């Protein structure tokens, strides 16, 4: 396979970006002149004569190797260059990590770098340092980190899309034309056509239009009458998919005072130069996006680049459209949109545009944090509290935390925005590490929606049955339908319905040691704490009120949709869930129909709660607030609070005031009460105290170690052996808890047990664990993974 890759990229290296190497070198020299002092001449000469480079191969082994760069490649090779090198008897891709290192063997023995894949570095020195940090912090092999940074199409050196074009090279005399007309009328026709054109014409188009065969064109090219030009077509990746809403060019509104202050404060950090983090806290609809856009425009004027992260591009088509409208249509700046449904070609071209400096702005989800933006000056993380920023496979990095670290390495300004900042970020702000900018009110002083909390325990008593929708919610749905206003109902799908909750009194079984819900295990009818291992029999009736209704059940979107359809038979009710999301254009279609008022009630999971901005929505219902609150996770309260605020943020965004109905069995819960008052400070105060008391993050870091295998006893035994081995090594550095069964004990026939490390120093603990992982005699049939700063405790 490597062989084919090689030939592919050989062909490609011939003319990337449509510029020749000499052009590129000239540009490089020019840059060097304007950006850094010229290097000492002696060094340059040595460089050109014979350069030694250290590289990280991307071949599944974590090692630095040394090579000699042949003279013809010397000038093009830099730290971060993607090269092909011989390893044993094959070729592999590698990233140059150092120029002129001291090699570990005599220089004569070094092999040559075989090929320079791109004439510019694939990773900047800053990205390379970032990769090293990620590897050390998140316990991931360096090569997998580098692979995560460079998209696969780039690594494969995928062919660029080249279009053949034709133009007249030499004009024919009258006699020549006559001869041609007689001898080869087809050729004459093609010549006559091209002679009339102002620009080269696509060959396929010309031949097809004139019904002329390719041999005619070939003959004319051979005789020097026509010339064939390779024109590189850029595949611009807005995709035909979810991230592709049309750009909307709106004239930038006059900023209000709070927005101005925020933009000014970000500008001041930028002007000072160097690293700074701003926590931009603004209620939903307060104009945060507008602040980002101004900050980007500012930074562009200074010649820098920007990374703009959103939790999920497909779910924020409106933001992407606004960004493109403002920057592309008004400022003429290309925006690279980075999302999961790009084709490989689009990804490659977007990446090349950034790496070569043709584009300076990227907007995308998590992995866009690695985009090769040059001269990075600004990093924006919208909805910084979102758990979607955490990657759930190796390397298990947190996009927000990596964004902050990248900004630090680049000496750039980082803006973390949210209506409900994470406890981590608020804590950093309070300790003076982050600056704080606040947008306290909605634009035009629009009111935040009024929130009604419905106590579902009373509903049960009143109706003598479990109900899906409360009477209040039903009344309000009717009301909105009559008034031709729109409603959204959210179903909570985060977490799992494996806790015990009494539907009559709201009792929830909690671990006395860990302040998290106990998990109900059906197999042996027990309640377990998956943090500390506490086990007790599951009660059959509520210990508090003796009711037998002590099981929690999740609701499906379909069930809710059916209920609403029954209540409002004349209304158009549409459901959005993972099924709909899977279908390519369906999501966008539904949003379009909703916007134009064809849909009265939209039913969906909270994943659609982000970023949607529909002015005619005046009612939002959260059907089951409890699901996220009683999951065995110390972040459960935080998540619930965020969810409530986010969901409420969808209502009343236009001129009409909005209302929110929250259904719950535990209305007294703090997350719900504070959300009702929109009291972020009040909520966070209590939450930080609680975290401090239990010494949960951010007061210590958490490392999650999961052991898996099909033999439960064996998995548990291995976890215990492992603990015995590492516990003494970590004495004083980490507190261990477990092994205990995972809340979802069995996944795809594998049993899962987990260990927790609570620590103040991740790097130290990960260092020890990574070393022991390499040396531990892992038995067959048991696998394990480490997750640093996990966002989900399952
Ligand atoms: P957020 O990101 O905080 O939810 P947005 O930036 O999306 O808020 O702003 C909400 C709405 O208000 C958008 O439609 C936006 O165009 C508009 N908007 C933002 N700032 C202003 C302003 N200063 N004047 C008028 N309208 C504004
Ligand atoms: Zn009870
Ligand atoms: Zn416990």
Span 711-731, pLDDT tens digits: 999 999 999 999 999 999 999
The atom number, within ligand 1, closest to the CA of 382 reads 2
The atom number, within ligand 1, closest to the CA of 289 reads 6
Q: Is the CB of 420 within 6 Å of ligand 1?
A: no
- In the predicted structure, residue 17 carries a pLDDT above the cut 60: no
At 202 the pLDDT is 83
Q: In angstroms, what is the span from residue 664 Cα to ligand 2's centroid?
A: 14
The atom number, within ligand 1, closest to the CA of 259 reads 23
Q: In angstroms, what is the span from residue 663 Cα to ligand 2's centroid?
A: 17
**Strands annotated E in 463-552:** 486-491, 519-521, 526-528, 535-537
Sign of torsion, CA 370 373 376 382?
Answer: negative
At 232 the pLDDT is 63
- In the predicted structure, residue 15 carries a pLDDT above the cut 70: no
At 466 the pLDDT is 56
In DSSP notation, 467-491 reads: -SS-HHHHHHHHHHHHTT-EEEEEE
Instruction: Ligand 1 pocket test: pick from 249, 261, 287 the residue with the most ligand atoms within 8 Å of its Cβ.
Output: 287
**At which residue do the structure tokens 């929830």 appear?**
508
At 27 the pLDDT is 41
What mean pLDDT, rounded, does the chain reach?
83
Q: Is the CB of 253 within 6 Å of ligand 1?
A: yes
Q: In angstroms, what is the span from residue 500 Cα to ligand 2's centroid?
A: 10
- The bound ligand whose nearest atom lies closest to the alpha carbon of 650 is 1
Q: In angstroms, what is the span from residue 325 Cα to ligand 1's centroid?
A: 15
- The token pair that represents 228 in the structure block: 């064939």
Global pTM value? 0.79
At 524 the pLDDT is 76
Taking CA atoms only, the protein residue closest to ligand 1 atom 15 is 287
For helices 423-430 and 680-694, the axis angle rounded to 10 degrees is 90
Q: In angstroms, what is the span from residue 759 Cα to ligand 3's centroid?
A: 17
Q: What percent of the chain lies above the pLDDT cut of 90?
A: 38
Q: In angstroms, what is the span from residue 631 Cα to ligand 3's centroid?
A: 13
- In the predicted structure, residue 39 carries a pLDDT above the cut 50: no
**Confidence class for position 31, pLDDT limits 50, 70, 90:** very low
Q: Is the CB of 417 within 6 Å of ligand 1?
A: no
- In the predicted structure, residue 697 carries a pLDDT above the cut 50: yes
Q: In angstroms, what is the span from residue 532 Cα to ligand 3's centroid?
A: 4
**Confidence class for position 36, pLDDT limits 50, 70, 90:** very low
- In the predicted structure, residue 32 carries a pLDDT above the cut 50: no
pLDDT tens for 445-459 read: 888 889 999 998 887
Q: Is the CB of 438 within 6 Å of ligand 1?
A: no
Helix (H) or strand (E) holding 726: helix 712-729
- In the predicted structure, residue 472 carries a pLDDT above the cut 90: yes
Q: Is the CB of 574 within 6 Å of ligand 1?
A: no
Q: Is the CB of 258 within 6 Å of ligand 1?
A: no
- The bound ligand whose nearest atom lies closest to the alpha carbon of 533 is 3
The atom number, within ligand 1, closest to the CA of 290 reads 6
Q: Is the CB of 282 within 6 Å of ligand 1?
A: yes
Q: Is the CB of 288 within 6 Å of ligand 1?
A: yes
**At which residue do the structure tokens 């819900």 appear?**
517
DSSP-based three-state secondary structure for 743: strand
Residue 1 C-alpha from the chain's centroid: 30
CA distances from 758 to 137, 311, 699, 774 (A): 15, 27, 10, 22
Mean pLDDT along residues 100-112: 79
Instruction: Ligand 1 pocket test: pick from 281, 443, 613, 655 the residue with the most ligand atoms within 8 Å of its Cβ.
Output: 443
Taking CA atoms only, the protein residue closest to ligand 1 atom 4 is 285
CA distances from 692 to 386, 602, 711 (A): 22, 40, 38
Taking CA atoms only, the protein residue closest to ligand 1 atom 5 is 287
- The bound ligand whose nearest atom lies closest to the alpha carbon of 253 is 1
Taking CA atoms only, the protein residue closest to ligand 1 atom 8 is 287
In DSSP notation, 152-188 reads: HHHHTTPPPEEEEEEEE-SPPPHHHHHHHHHH-HHHH
pLDDT higher at 600 or 103: 600
Which residues are near ligand 3, the ion (C-beta closer than 5 Å)?
Answer: 511, 513-514, 529, 531-532, 534
Task: Please list, in sequence order, all residues whose beta carbon lies within 8 angstroms of the beta carbon of residue 551, skipping any fewer than 6 positions away.
Answer: 500, 501, 520
pLDDT tens for 377-423 read: 999 999 999 988 999 888 999 999 999 999 999 999 999 999 999 99
Q: Phi, psi at residue 290, to the nearest 5°? A: -60, -35
Mean pLDDT along residues 302-307: 91
Asked if 776 and 707 touch (Cβ cutoff 8 Å), the reply is no
- The bound ligand whose nearest atom lies closest to the alpha carbon of 291 is 1
Asked if 150 and 120 touch (Cβ cutoff 8 Å), the reply is no
Q: How many angstroms separate the CA atoms of 63 and 82, rounded?
A: 16
**Confidence class for position 778, pLDDT limits 50, 70, 90:** very high
- In the predicted structure, residue 325 carries a pLDDT above the cut 90: no
Q: Is the CB of 252 within 6 Å of ligand 1?
A: no
Instruction: Ligand 1 pocket test: pick from 250, 282, 289, 415 the residue with the most ligand atoms within 8 Å of its Cβ.
Output: 289
Q: Is the CB of 383 within 6 Å of ligand 1?
A: no
**Confidence class for position 51, pLDDT limits 50, 70, 90:** confident
Give exposure, 322-356, as e/b (b: 16+ Cβ within 10 Å): bbbbbbeebeebbbbbbbbebeebbbbbbbbbbbb
At 776 the pLDDT is 93
pLDDT tens for 220-245 read: 999 899 988 876 665 555 444 444 45
Mean pLDDT along residues 47-70: 79
Q: In angstroms, what is the span from residue 260 Cα to ligand 2's centroid?
A: 52
Taking CA atoms only, the protein residue closest to ligand 1 atom 25 is 253
Taking CA atoms only, the protein residue closest to ligand 1 atom 10 is 285
Maximum average pLDDT range among 147-151, 479-483, 620-624, 647-651: 479-483
- The bound ligand whose nearest atom lies closest to the alpha carbon of 632 is 3
pLDDT tens for 182-211 read: 999 999 999 988 888 877 888 888 888 888
Q: Is the CB of 418 within 6 Å of ligand 1?
A: no
Asked if 364 and 371 touch (Cβ cutoff 8 Å), the reply is yes
pLDDT tens for 627-650 read: 777 777 888 899 899 988 888 888
Q: In angstroms, what is the span from residue 398 Cα to ligand 1's centroid?
A: 28
- The bound ligand whose nearest atom lies closest to the alpha carbon of 286 is 1
pLDDT tens for 666-681 read: 899 899 999 998 899 9
Taking CA atoms only, the protein residue closest to ligand 1 atom 6 is 287
Q: In angstroms, what is the span from residue 401 Cα to ligand 3's centroid?
A: 28
Q: How many CB atoms lie within 10 A of CB 185?
A: 12
Q: In angstroms, what is the span from residue 251 Cα to ligand 1's centroid?
A: 12
Q: Is the CB of 256 within 6 Å of ligand 1?
A: yes
- In the predicted structure, residue 98 carries a pLDDT above the cut 50: yes
Mean pLDDT along residues 606-616: 73
Sheet holding 201-202, edge to edge: 201-202, 161-168, 226-233
Q: Does 395 sit behind a cis peptide bond, omega within 30 degrees of 0 on the bond before it? A: yes
Task: Please list, in sequence order, all residues whose beta carbon lies within 8 angstroms of the beta carbon of residue 264, skipping any fewer than 6 positions away.
Answer: none
pLDDT tens for 432-448 read: 999 999 999 988 888 88
Q: How many CB atoms lie within 10 A of CB 181?
A: 14
Q: How many angstroms separate the CA atoms of 320 and 311, rounded?
A: 12
- In the predicted structure, residue 35 carries a pLDDT above the cut 50: no
Q: In angstroms, what is the span from residue 286 Cα to ligand 1's centroid?
A: 6
Maximum average pLDDT range among 86-100, 270-284, 335-349: 270-284
Q: In angstroms, what is the span from residue 501 Cα to ligand 2's centroid?
A: 8
Taking CA atoms only, the protein residue closest to ligand 1 atom 18 is 287
- In the predicted structure, residue 89 carries a pLDDT above the cut 60: yes
Q: Is the CB of 742 within 6 Å of ligand 1?
A: no
- The bound ligand whose nearest atom lies closest to the alpha carbon of 316 is 1
**Strands annotated E in 3-101:** 51-57, 65-69, 82-87, 90-99
Asked if 755 and 722 touch (Cβ cutoff 8 Å), the reply is yes
């Amino acid at each position: 396979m490597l062989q084919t890759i090689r030939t592919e990229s050989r062909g490609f290296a011939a003319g990337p970006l449509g510029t020749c190497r000499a052009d590129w070198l000239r540009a490089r020299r020019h840059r060097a002149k304007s950006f850094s002092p010229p290097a000492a001449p002696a060094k340059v000469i040595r460089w050109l004569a014979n350069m030694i480079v250290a590289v990280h191969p991307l071949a599944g082994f974590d090692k630095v190797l040394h090579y000699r760069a042949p003279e013809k490649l010397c000038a093009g090779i830099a730290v971060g260059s993607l090269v092909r090198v011989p390893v044993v008897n094959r070729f592999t891709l590698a990233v140059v990590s150092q120029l002129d290192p001291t090699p570990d063997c005599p220089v004569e023995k070094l092999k040559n770098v075989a090929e320079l894949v791109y004439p510019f570095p694939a990773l900047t020195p800053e990205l390379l340092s970032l990769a090293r940090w990620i590897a050390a912090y998140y316990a991931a092999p360096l090569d997998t980190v580098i692979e995560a940074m460079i998209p696969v199409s780039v690594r494969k050196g995928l062919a660029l899309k080249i279009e053949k074009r034709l133009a007249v090279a030499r004009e024919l005399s009258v006699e020549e034309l006559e001869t041609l007309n007689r001898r080869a009328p087809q050729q004459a026709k093609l010549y006559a056509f091209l002679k009339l054109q102002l620009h080269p014409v696509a060959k396929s188009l010309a031949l097809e239009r004139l019904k002329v065969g390719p041999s005619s064109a070939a003959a004319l090219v051979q005789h020097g009458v026509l010339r064939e030009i390779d024109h590189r077509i850029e595949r611009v990746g807005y995709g035909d998919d979810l991230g592709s809403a049309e750009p909307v060019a709106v004239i930038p509104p006059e900023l209000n005072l709070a927005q101005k202050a925020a933009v000014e404060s970000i500008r001041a950090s930028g002007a000072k130069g160097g690293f700074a983090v701003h926590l931009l806290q603004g209620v939903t609809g307060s104009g945060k996006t507008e602040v980002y856009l101004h900050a980007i425009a500012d930074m562009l004027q200074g010649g820098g680049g920007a990374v703009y992260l959103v939790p999920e591009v497909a779910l924020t088509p409106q933001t992407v459209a606004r960004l493109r409208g403002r920057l592309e249509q008004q400022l003429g700046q290309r925006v690279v949109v980075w999302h999961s449904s790009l084709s490989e070609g689009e990804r490659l071209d977007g990446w090349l545009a950034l790496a070569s400096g043709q584009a300076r702005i990227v907007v995308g989800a998590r992995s866009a944090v690695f985009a090769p933006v040059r001269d990075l000056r600004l990093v924006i993380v919208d909805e910084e509290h979102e758990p979607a920023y955490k990657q759930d496979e190796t390397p298990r990095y947190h996009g927000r935390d990596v964004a902050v670290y990248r900004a630090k390495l680049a000496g750039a300004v980082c803006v973390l925005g949210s209506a409900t900042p994470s406890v981590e970020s608020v804590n950093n702000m309070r300790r003076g590490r982050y600056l704080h900018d606040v947008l306290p009110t909605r634009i035009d002083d629009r009111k935040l929606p009024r929130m009604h909390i419905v106590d579902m325990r009373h509903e049960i008593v009143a109706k003598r049955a479990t109900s899906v929708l409360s009477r209040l919610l039903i009344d309000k749905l009717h009301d909105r339908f009559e008034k031709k206003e729109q409603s959204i109902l959210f179903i909570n799908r985060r977490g799992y319905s494996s806790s015990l909750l009494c539907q009559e009194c709201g009792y929830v079984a909690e671990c006395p040691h860990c302040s998290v819900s106990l998990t109900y295990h059906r197999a042996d009818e027990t309640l377990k704490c998956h943090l500390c291992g506490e086990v007790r029999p599951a009660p059959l009736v509520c210990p508090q009120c003796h009711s037998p209704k002590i099981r929690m059940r999740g609701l499906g979107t379909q069930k809710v949709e059916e209920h609403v359809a029954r209540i409002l038979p004349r209304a158009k009710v549409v459901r959005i869930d993972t099924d709909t999301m899977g279908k390519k254009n369906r999501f966008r279609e539904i949003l379009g129909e909703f916007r134009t008022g064809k849909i009265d009630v939209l039913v969906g999971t909270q994943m659609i709660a982000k970023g949607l901005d529909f002015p005619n929505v005046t009612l939002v219902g959260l059907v089951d607030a409890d699901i996220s609150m009683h999951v065995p996770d110390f972040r459960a309260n935080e998540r619930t609070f965020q969810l409530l605020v986010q969901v409420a943020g969808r209502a009343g965004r236009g001129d009409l005031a909005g209302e929110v109905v929250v259904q719950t069995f535990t209305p007294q819960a703090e997350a719900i009460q504070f959300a009702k008052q929109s009291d972020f400070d009040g909520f966070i105060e209590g939450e930080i105290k609680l975290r401090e008391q239990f010494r949960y993050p951010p007061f210590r870091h958490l490392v999650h170690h999961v052991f898996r295998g099909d033999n439960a006893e064996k998995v548990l035994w291995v976890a215990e052996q492992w603990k015995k081995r590492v516990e003494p090594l970590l004495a004083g550095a980490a507190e261990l808890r477990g092994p205990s069964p995972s809340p979802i004990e069995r996944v795809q026939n594998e049993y899962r047990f987990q260990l927790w490390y609570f620590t103040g120093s991740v790097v130290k603990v990960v260092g020890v664990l990574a070393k022991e992982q390499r040396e531990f005699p892992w038995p067959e049939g048991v696998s394990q993974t480490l997750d640093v700063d996990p966002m989900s405790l399952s």
